[in-house]
Amino acid sequence: MAQLLDDLSGFEFEDLMEDVFRNLGYQNVRQASKTADEGRDIIMEEHVDGQTRAVVVECKHTTRVGRPVIQKLHSAVSTFDYDGPRRGIVVTTGTFTNPATEYAADLQRGGDDGSIELLDGTDLREIGEEIGLDLYNGRIEVICEETLRPTHPTGPRDKPALEAFREIDNLDPQQIGDTHCEAVFKPTLEVSAAVDATFETSVGVIHDIDTTADISIAGDRGRPTTLSSSVDRLVRNNRAQAVDMDAEAFEQRFDRVDVEHFDRTETEYKDWVVDELRDRYTNTVHYTGDNNVDYEKICEPKQSDISVQSIDPVYVPKVSIEAQLGEYRYPYECYVAGPSHTTIEDGIRECVQCETSDQGETYTFCENCGSINCESHTKTERVEQEPICTGCAVTERFALKRKYFYDERNREQFRREYEQMAAHEKAMENPPLVAGSAVAVVLVLLFVLMQVGLV
């Protein structure tokens, strides 16, 4: 067992064990100062029967651990400043000597509040299998068995697209028919970390950071990135309602299902978060020295100032929906969490003529060709008095005004009707022209009357 982790330094082994205990469900897991550990490498908490208990951990990256190490930790646990019960754990990549094992057993039998649990290399191997620990390189793999719900709990798989279609004027939902739906489960991680850093000079503390930071990460291919604000809210608001990641069951509902893998190990994601937070909380501080001279200092948190409290992986379904109406295909893509979703691509509320996608625009369906159009590209068919788009309409000017028709047959029908109309009826095919002509006649009449002195 020891040989499997030989490439790790003592500090790297402590970093690894911090991740291990966090994955096992311990809370507020953090490392003690590396410069003065006082027998305490890791400090954390556990909840037992409704009571919180402190746990102090000593990490030994060595082949054999003797009784003195157990005694030292027992003393450290006994003097640990904590208002409540506490116990200790010694974890090693090797084995424990018989005296060490007997001493720990005596503490257990005595019911000592400062009892010590021993975890050797064999125990680590079993833990590794449970949490996805790669013992060969000291990395913890991401194990994710949950996903946000890929479909609406009471609606069809394409409900987000159907909701968009309902906002289109002149479109009967029955005209939509079957849609093609694919789901890609995107790996994400919610990470919570504590940042505790103090910066001092000869004049005292000039800057202090004591906060908790939450970061949501996209865990697919390439360098980790933070999720967009809309997807971040979707994950945080719906994480508690996640369901089991059952790809076979989802394949029964979608035309195609793809589950993307986490591109990195949990350990690598943690390292990225630490670097990200170090950069985020780096500040340039101005202060006045004892000599009344102004100074400037860059205050950058150290790696040891940042403690990752939790890494919670979950899949986020990206659902792609496509419907065909007449000559046109309409894509719609969104991240889904049960009844909630956030849109990535909306090819429905978009004009096929000019690609306008203004949310304040009214879009209308042209039943003649299946297109969806903005107001400027939607007209009224002269014969049927129904909406028609400028893209498919047959046009001709009557009374100097352009008229729109479904096809040649409707245009010919109206042409015959127009020929039978009285003059005033023909004129009413262009009301603005009639109104303008009337105004012109009145103005001419007034001019003539003014010339002859009657006005």
Query: What residue ranges define each of the domains in the chain, with the CATH number in brackets?
Result: 10-131 (3.40.1350.10), 147-320 (no CATH), 349-420 (no CATH)
Q: How much is the pLDDT for 454?
A: 62
pLDDT higher at 431 or 179? 179
Question: For residue 2, what pLDDT band results from cuts at 50, 70 and 90?
Answer: very low
What average pLDDT does the chain have? 88
What's the mean pLDDT in 180-200?
Answer: 95
Q: Which two tokens stand for residue 418?
A: 């127009």
Q: What is the pLDDT of residue 318?
A: 97
The average pLDDT across 156-178 equals 93
* Residue 112 confidence (pLDDT) above 90: no
Q: Rounded mean pLDDT of 356-385? A: 93
Angle at the Cα of 112 from the Cα atoms of 110 and 118, rounded to 5 degrees? 90
pLDDT at position 137 over 70: no
- Name the burial class of residue 315, with classes exposed (0-12), middle (13-18) and buried (19+) by CB atoms within 10 angstroms of its CB: buried
pLDDT digits (tens, 9 = 90+) for 39-65: 568 999 998 888 899 999 999 988 889
pLDDT in tens, 205-220: 999 999 999 999 998 8
Question: How far apart are alpha carbons 316 and 31 in whole angstroms?
Answer: 32
pLDDT at res. 303? 87
Burial class (CB in 10 A: 0-12, 13-18, 19+), 118: buried
Burial class, 359, CB count within 10 angstroms (exposed 0-12 / middle 13-18 / buried 19+):
exposed
pTM: 0.76
Q: Which of 224-238, 258-272, 406-420 has the lowest mean pLDDT?
A: 258-272
